[in-house]
Structure 1
Amino acid sequence: MGLRTTGATRRNRATSKTLVKLLQGSAVCALVSVAWVAPATQVAAQDYRFSTVVINGNERVGDSAILARAKIRGGQTVTGGQLNDAYQNLQGSGLFETVSITPQGDTLVIDVVELPTLNRVRFEGNKRIKDEVLAQVIGSTERKVFNPAQAEKDAAGIAEAYSNDGRLSARVQPRIIRRDQNRVDLVFEIFEGDNIEIERISLVGNRVYSDRRLRRVLGTKQAGLFRRLVKRDTFVEGRVEADKQMLRDFYLSRGYVDMRTEAVNAELTRERDGYFVAYNITEGQQFKFGKVSVVSEMPEVSADAYREIIKIRPGVVYSPTVVENDIARLERQAIRDGVDFMRVEPRVERNERDLTLDVTYVISRGERIFVERIDIEGNTTTLDQVIRRQFDSVEGDPFNPREIRAAAERIRALNYFETAEVNAREGSSGEQVVIDVDVEEKPTGSLNFGGSFSNNDGIGVAISFAEENFLGRGQKLQLTVSTASEANRYGLNFVEPSLLGRDLSFGIQLDYAETDSSYASYDTKRLIALPSLSFPVSENGRVQVRYTYQDLEMVETDDIVADPAAQTNGGIIQSEIDQGAVTSSSLGYTYRYDTRLTGLDPTSGVLFEFGQDFAGVGGDSEYIKTTAKVVAERLIFNEEVTLRATLEGGALSWGNGNSRTVDRFLLGSSVMRGFEFGGIGPRELSGDIDDPLGGNYYLVARFDAEFPLGLPEEYGLTGGAFYDVGNVWGLNNVDTASASGSVVGESGSFRHVVGLSVFWETPVGPLQFNFSQALKKEDYDQDQNFEVTLRTTF
């Protein structure tokens, strides 16, 4: 890459030199300056003695420093070879643009032209990568001596940074601008070019899993409809190794222990604007667990005592993750039993005939090595304690390599750092190790502005601030302000994930909302304060305990306030509005069990939730509200099709007084598809009055299937089918005598709905389009045949 100079020069000898000429000039000077040293053999052997050394052209570098680098003193006898070495030393010092050494009788003349001082570094033409990021790539430093070779190296580094961002056609041209006082400005002119996208990812050698399924595993994605917004569809060579490991982990977790990636080929398209990437893989055979046993090589430890801890059973598909989980359980139990330095190593024996792997857990005594200290570097924002609490070990504890690896994974899972490396090295003695943690911070906060429009809420703006690592303490803070003509909300949510340094999460939620009930003729004003504590109770189970204070008021709509003659409320709703603001004060808990965390089978999972709230600890209301949900999911047909079944329900047992509609269960499409919010259940009907009243009980079962549609993957479209059955019923503790019309649906029948779904992956989120038809419903139900929602997962 050539460089040119512009601007006035301070000396005639430095006029209009380019950086390339600076580099080339050095070589020319070398030939001219030392020509007298070695024109012939007899001259090379000549010795010289100088009584005086004269140095010209130096301003910034002193005479003594130049002589020290040249290693020549007056009165010293030197050979031609030593003079040549002196020239090489000065030229290689990186301080001079040109150097010449000329003997003149008993005087040695050294002429130098000093390299200029780098005054300023600038970047021009960069939009994709900011100046702050590029400044971290280059080695040229302002206020130091300008080095042309370093400038060329920096240009190559910037081009590589763009290459890693998928812009292989980026070009970088370093140029200098001459300033007075022997200074220069260095400008990197950048042409970013276009993204080199991945047009197609293909896999060769896969027989069990389709290309479509395996492409979902890879971090690199094919260019799709939203290629301008998605950055993962650009080809980055450094990402290939990570993708190969993802494929390896995917197959290993499904028992294919011999899987390997033979080669990855990336070819440019003929137009050189895209890549075709092909992964050549060998799957091998699927293995299952055979015999599983525990053997102890420690006399004081009984293998039988630890055998019951093992969760693996013969016949289950082999997975190294399951083995690691069992080893962690065994070692944790050893710590509880007071057995130090106990190590568990799996010995795996292959049975090629029946394709099983026998696993023997060998209990042995590990080396007596202790953790001397934990050194943390690179955390400019995050406090040390946030990283340290990811370690189960502290200074002075026995060293457990497996635990250190697990801590490294927990640190990465925080998602606070671009990179996080955890390594162990020998400490001050052979019995101690030092744990080095090197991290690189990344932004963890976001400020979002948005607008909204709906027929129900009108035009509004939304502002939200979220910080995942508040003040570097690992705390989460979210502030939300949402305003619309018919709906306002102000919220604060704060979470301390490690209260008192333990696995104890403290959270507090404050929320105030004024909303228009689009499904009924009243508005609501709601204030909620909810502090909570959450902690684990088992490997897959977690409990949240909470206190909830709520001030909830049903108010008449603005239309009715402006024109009382426009009254459209039924008698029951009006009697609830007349109660004014009602407060409730409750204690509650939720138990959550999720096998997806450490499940034995990666193709299936179960989620169970059960919660209760007990109101009556002060406030105006007294009730017990119970909710429960169980979800089971299974992947079939080589994980191409997902089957899911969900059963959920709730019960409200009211104490003193009457409950209100806003206290009872009103189902939306997220619970029961095919109906509007509040579209099923008890209602008050009379003329123009059609008020959903909600129910004290509900029960819904949902069955889903998701499958590919056979369309090109870049469209991001998949299909689904569903069947829902459910009901809402019960109006105990409701003043039905105040009804101005008839009350229906107190014990209505179960509704049945079938439908089809289209799932669309977009940059704004996964959208879900539901087309439904009610097979069985009541005449007064409000059904809904089409809706668009954001897709949710269990």
Structure 2
Amino acid sequence: MTAGSKLLRAASALALSSTVLATSLGASIVLAENAAAAQVSRVEVRGNQRVDADTVRGLLAIKPGQNIGDADIDEGVRKLYSTGLFSDVRISQQGGTVVVNVSENQIVNQVLFQGNSKLKDEQLRAAVQTSSRGAYSQATADNDVGAIREAYTRIGRSDAAVSVRTIPIENNRVNVVFDINEGDRTKIGQINFVGNNAFSDGRLKEVIALRESGILSFLQRNDVYDEDRLRADEETLRRFYFNRGYADFRIVSATADLDASQNKYFITFTVEEGERYAFGNVNVDSTIPGVGGQSLQGELKTRTGDVYSAQKIEESLVSLTNRVAANGFAFAQVTPRGDRDFNSRTISVNYVIDQGPRAYIERLEVRGNTKTRDYVVRREFDVSEGDAFNQVLVQRAKQRLERLGFFEKVNISTAPGSEPDRVVVIVEVQEKSTGEFSIGGGYTTGGESDGPVAEIGITERNFLGRGQFVKISAGFGEDTRSYQLSFTEPYFLGRRLAAGFDIYTTKNTSESYDVERTGGDVRIAAPITTELTGQVAYNFKSEEFGDDDGVSIGRFRTDANGNFVQPLTTDTNDDGYSGPSELLRSTCDDPNPLGYVSSSRSGEATDFSNAPKYTRSRIINAAICESPYTTSSISYALTYNSLDSSTDPRNGVLATFGQEFAGIGGDANFVKTTAKASYFQQLIEEYDVIGQLSAGGGNVSALGGDLRVFDNFFKGQDIVRGFDTKGMGPRQFEIDSDGDTVGRGVSIGGENYLNASAEATFPLPGISRDFGFRGAVFADAGTLWGSEYKGEYGVVGTDLNLRASAGVGLIWASPFGPLRVNYAHPFLKEDYDRTQELSFGFSTRF
């Protein structure tokens, strides 16, 4: 290499080194300048009008002296946006100054709804997040549009159209307007079931809550499709099949397809029923020392050979858990283990009892209740905060809450507590209407006065959200008036004691005399077992009679000229009456006032033509002359109830037995015993034919004296349909000279009664079950007999003479409540009985 070349290379290297050095120094200078610029000296806020600058700086969390980067600026933007106060946020750095440019959201002056009629403004305001005096956010308003559409979907208007707009006003405020086109109701066109063989479509439609649209759907509102209702119906179907032996049942799919052209949903449940099972061997195994499985067998509700039922297993779990807990093992866990035999189609169940993990309830939260008080929900739990957590007892509380009838849905879930052994129990409820407006009535024929009778009432089963029962009712008829007030507190003194009272007043003139009864009772009831309840009560009644002329039992006989024919009848001493002046005695003022012959109300002895031409009842008059008459008594009753439903039973028993003891003061002295039992059984599952057998009876006996006639039983259509209210049993008549009964007679009641009834109800063929119609056929038999006046004063019907009737009924689950019309024909009766062949009644909830 030449010297020149070496010199040139050295110069080049030196120049390169100088360039690298200069570049490095430049870079260092730039970085230093950037580092100096990143340190904040102050924060400047621009564009704010209502929000104070210091408030923005506090929200931003960028302080003078702080070194910031892009990440800090991004975080600041995010924080300011999250407040909902601003529609635009920009942050930049100019030297040591951080400049925050904001555009404030407009303030909402009013939220308005236009075009809505099916949902009120209050309902829509509860659905949206945009509110008056809040900051307007377009994103929130868009979400509100979806919420309003969802609210309309829940009431069956899926095609409702909703849009939102703003109307600016002064001071950067706006009115937010939601424009609504409610559209037509989206109906349920058809509900189909695929894969069902054991039960028809019609039977399964009765099980679920959703209904096909019909001519009365605008009143019933049960044809509204909702995703939650569909899911709930899936669970209802599962329980229906599981409780009827189909342990393998599953729902393959449940779909709801909207036909936009018809604006109707078509719902299809695809199911697999599987085989039907019965219970095999049922045993109890306990790993807890001192708790033997054999001793717990009596707690089981499952029996070998019975049709498999998930509900019976649940009841067994509750019963076993309560029994073991009562023995001091609060953490005991009962687990049912099934062994399925596919050949014999049986499921053997082994209940295994172990000492479960120790967990305590830290807190019990109630959510979703707007009317019902928290304590009404809490008191249905047998466990509370601090108690041992037991899943079975929690599920038992869920069943109790569902049976209250206060809620559409009850969901209970758990969440971890503050410690590993702590559990939070969350109860979510959806309330429903608990009020009821009722109307009942009938048409009386063949009695003292024909014509319609009616009763109206208002009932609230969750009064003021306290779980209290209140009912006010009034009855009206041609000759009757009645008013009643009832109140029940289901948890008296904080215990599961139902205490209450009833007050009533009635006035009746249907038997040709006026009687006004005023009274009431104070009662308290307590559960003895899950199915048995006991009640005790104090009762008081006062009766006053307003017509001391007495009661007609027949008309005087006259000759062709209208003159009385002698002898008319005989008096109590069989002396006969010597002349017409005897007709003018005052019924209750005469020393011997109780003969058959009536007095003249005018008191004009000289004008015989004005004398009333009726004979009167000695027996009824004797009671009338004792007015006012008071009855003071104590009573008790035992009620056994194993019905599967209190409103629409298909299986189970309802039985009552009670006694009343009068003589605790007052004028009456008697003991009255009554009993009644009804047995329900589904006769044909597929066609939903339900059978009912009922029987009852009663006896009243005097205590230390005579039994007053009004203390007897007065029976009729309440034990044998087709008869008047007091249409059967002993009656008093006028007896003519030939010994024959004359006139209409009057009921004097009986000391004993027996009755029995058989009935079957069924869906009406050829009519869609969605209309809610059912038919009924029935046969009743009964008798009312026994009287101390047997053979005296023209009294007949004191013997045990059977009455019977047969009839048909029409039952309609109407939009106003269950309506029933009965027509009963008495085919076995006495000539003097009174009939009422047609009757009806219904009630409705609000």
Superposition TM-score, scaled by structure 2 size = 0.78
1 or 2 for the larger relative contact order (CA 8 Å, sep ≥6)?
2
Which one-letter code corresponds to 2:150 in the other structure?
E
1:731 pairs, out of 778, 787, 795, with: 787
Could you tell me which residue of structure 2 aligns to residue 550 of structure 1?
A: 541
2:469 pairs, out of 476, 480, 487, with: 476
SS at match of 2:156: coil
CA distances 1:550-600 after superposition (whole Å, capped 9, x unpaired):
11234339999899848675443333322212111111111111222699x
Could you tell me which residue of structure 2 aligns to residue 535 of structure 1?
A: 526
Work out whether residues 550 and 620 of structure 2, in 8 Å CA contact, stay in contact via their aligned partners in 1: no
Which one-letter code corresponds to 2:467 in the other structure?
G
- CA–CA separation in structure 2 for the residues paired with 1:217 and 1:255: 16
Q: CA, structure 1 residues 202+360, in 2 after alignment: closer, same or farther (shift >3 Å)?
A: same
Matched, 1:645 2:666: no
Could you tell me which residue of structure 1 aligns to residue 498 of structure 2?
A: 505
The answer to which of 608-617 and 493-502 deviates more is 493-502
Could you tell me which residue of structure 1 aligns to residue 594 of structure 2?
A: none
- CA–CA separation in structure 1 for the residues paired with 2:342 and 2:147: 50
Could you tell me which residue of structure 1 aligns to residue 754 of structure 2?
A: 699
2:777 pairs, out of 721, 725, 744, with: 721
Which one-letter code corresponds to 2:711 in the other structure?
D
Could you tell me which residue of structure 2 aligns to residue 159 of structure 1?
A: 149
Q: CA RMSD in A?
A: 3.9
Q: CA, structure 1 residues 132+419, in 2 after alignment: closer, same or farther (shift >3 Å)?
A: farther
Work out whether residues 443 and 839 of structure 2, in 8 Å CA contact, stay in contact via their aligned partners in 1: no
- Cα deviation for residue 289 of structure 1 reads 0.6
- Cα deviation for residue 106 of structure 1 reads 11
CA distances 1:329-348 after superposition (whole Å, capped 9, x unpaired):
22222223233422221111
CA distances 1:39-80 after superposition (whole Å, capped 9, x unpaired):
xxxxxxx99979999765421134455567789999999999
- Cα deviation for residue 620 of structure 1 reads 0.5
Work out whether residues 818 and 843 of structure 2, in 8 Å CA contact, stay in contact via their aligned partners in 1: yes
Please give the residue correspondences for 1:80-119 in structure 2 after superposition, counting only pairs within 5 Å.
94-97=84-87, 112-119=102-109
CA distances 1:222-247 after superposition (whole Å, capped 9, x unpaired):
22342111011122222100000000
Q: CA, structure 1 residues 556+170, in 2 after alignment: closer, same or farther (shift >3 Å)?
A: farther
Please give the residue correspondences for 1:284-299 in structure 2 after superposition, counting only pairs within 5 Å.
284-299=274-289
* Structure 2 runs not aligned, ≥5 long: 1-32, 552-600, 603-609, 735-741
Q: CA, structure 1 residues 609+122, in 2 after alignment: closer, same or farther (shift >3 Å)?
A: same
Could you tell me which residue of structure 1 aligns to residue 798 of structure 2?
A: 746
- Cα deviation for residue 253 of structure 1 reads 0.4
Matched, 1:496 2:489: yes
Please give the residue correspondences for 1:283-362 in structure 2 after superposition, counting only pairs within 5 Å.
283-362=273-352
Please give the residue correspondences for 1:158-197 in structure 2 after superposition, counting only pairs within 5 Å.
158-197=148-187
Structure having the higher Rg: 2
> Percent identity among equivalent residues?
35
Q: CA, structure 1 residues 76+331, in 2 after alignment: closer, same or farther (shift >3 Å)?
A: closer
Matched, 1:595 2:588: no
Q: CA, structure 1 residues 270+383, in 2 after alignment: closer, same or farther (shift >3 Å)?
A: closer
Could you tell me which residue of structure 1 aligns to residue 671 of structure 2?
A: 624
How many corresponding residue pairs?
738
- CA–CA separation in structure 2 for the residues paired with 1:152 and 1:557: 79
The answer to which of 228-237 and 659-668 deviates more is 659-668
CA distances 1:712-745 after superposition (whole Å, capped 9, x unpaired):
224332222111222211222x4975x4xx3322
Which one-letter code corresponds to 1:256 in the other structure?
Y
Which one-letter code corresponds to 1:181 in the other structure?
N
Matched, 1:767 2:822: no
Please give the residue correspondences for 1:119-130 in structure 2 after superposition, counting only pairs within 5 Å.
119-130=109-120
Matched, 1:142 2:197: no
- Cα deviation for residue 778 of structure 1 reads 1.7
- Cα deviation for residue 118 of structure 1 reads 0.7
Q: CA, structure 1 residues 554+277, in 2 after alignment: closer, same or farther (shift >3 Å)?
A: farther
CA distances 1:121-177 after superposition (whole Å, capped 9, x unpaired):
233333333333322211112212111221121121011011012111222232322
Q: CA, structure 1 residues 654+313, in 2 after alignment: closer, same or farther (shift >3 Å)?
A: same
- CA–CA separation in structure 1 for the residues paired with 2:173 and 2:323: 68
Could you tell me which residue of structure 2 aligns to residue 30 of structure 1?
A: none
SS at match of 2:190: strand
- CA–CA separation in structure 2 for the residues paired with 1:265 and 1:371: 39
- CA–CA separation in structure 2 for the residues paired with 1:647 and 1:383: 41
Q: CA, structure 1 residues 659+147, in 2 after alignment: closer, same or farther (shift >3 Å)?
A: same
Work out whether residues 49 and 78 of structure 1, in 8 Å CA contact, stay in contact via their aligned partners in 2: no
Work out whether residues 93 and 99 of structure 2, in 8 Å CA contact, stay in contact via their aligned partners in 1: yes
Which one-letter code corresponds to 2:657 in the other structure?
F
* Structure 1 runs not aligned, ≥5 long: 1-45
- CA–CA separation in structure 2 for the residues paired with 1:358 and 1:254: 16
Work out whether residues 457 and 484 of structure 1, in 8 Å CA contact, stay in contact via their aligned partners in 2: no
Which one-letter code corresponds to 1:545 in the other structure?
V
- CA–CA separation in structure 2 for the residues paired with 1:731 and 1:642: 38
Work out whether residues 697 and 729 of structure 1, in 8 Å CA contact, stay in contact via their aligned partners in 2: yes
Could you tell me which residue of structure 1 aligns to residue 589 of structure 2?
A: none
- Cα deviation for residue 393 of structure 1 reads 2.1
Q: CA, structure 1 residues 53+254, in 2 after alignment: closer, same or farther (shift >3 Å)?
A: closer
Could you tell me which residue of structure 2 aligns to residue 574 of structure 1?
A: 621
Matched, 1:614 2:661: yes
Superposition TM-score, scaled by structure 1 size = 0.83
SS at match of 1:238: helix
Please give the residue correspondences for 1:51-450 in structure 2 after superposition, counting only pairs within 5 Å.
57-63=47-53, 94-97=84-87, 112-269=102-259, 271-376=261-366, 382-416=372-406, 420-438=410-428
1:758 pairs, out of 803, 810, 824, with: 810
Which one-letter code corresponds to 1:182 in the other structure?
N
Work out whether residues 202 and 211 of structure 1, in 8 Å CA contact, stay in contact via their aligned partners in 2: yes
- Cα deviation for residue 424 of structure 1 reads 3.3
The answer to which of 431-440 and 304-313 deviates more is 431-440
Q: CA, structure 1 residues 266+73, in 2 after alignment: closer, same or farther (shift >3 Å)?
A: same
Work out whether residues 711 and 717 of structure 1, in 8 Å CA contact, stay in contact via their aligned partners in 2: no
Matched, 1:674 2:722: yes
Work out whether residues 461 and 484 of structure 1, in 8 Å CA contact, stay in contact via their aligned partners in 2: yes
- Cα deviation for residue 301 of structure 1 reads 2.8
Which one-letter code corresponds to 2:748 in the other structure?
L
Q: CA, structure 1 residues 68+400, in 2 after alignment: closer, same or farther (shift >3 Å)?
A: closer
- CA–CA separation in structure 2 for the residues paired with 1:396 and 1:82: 47
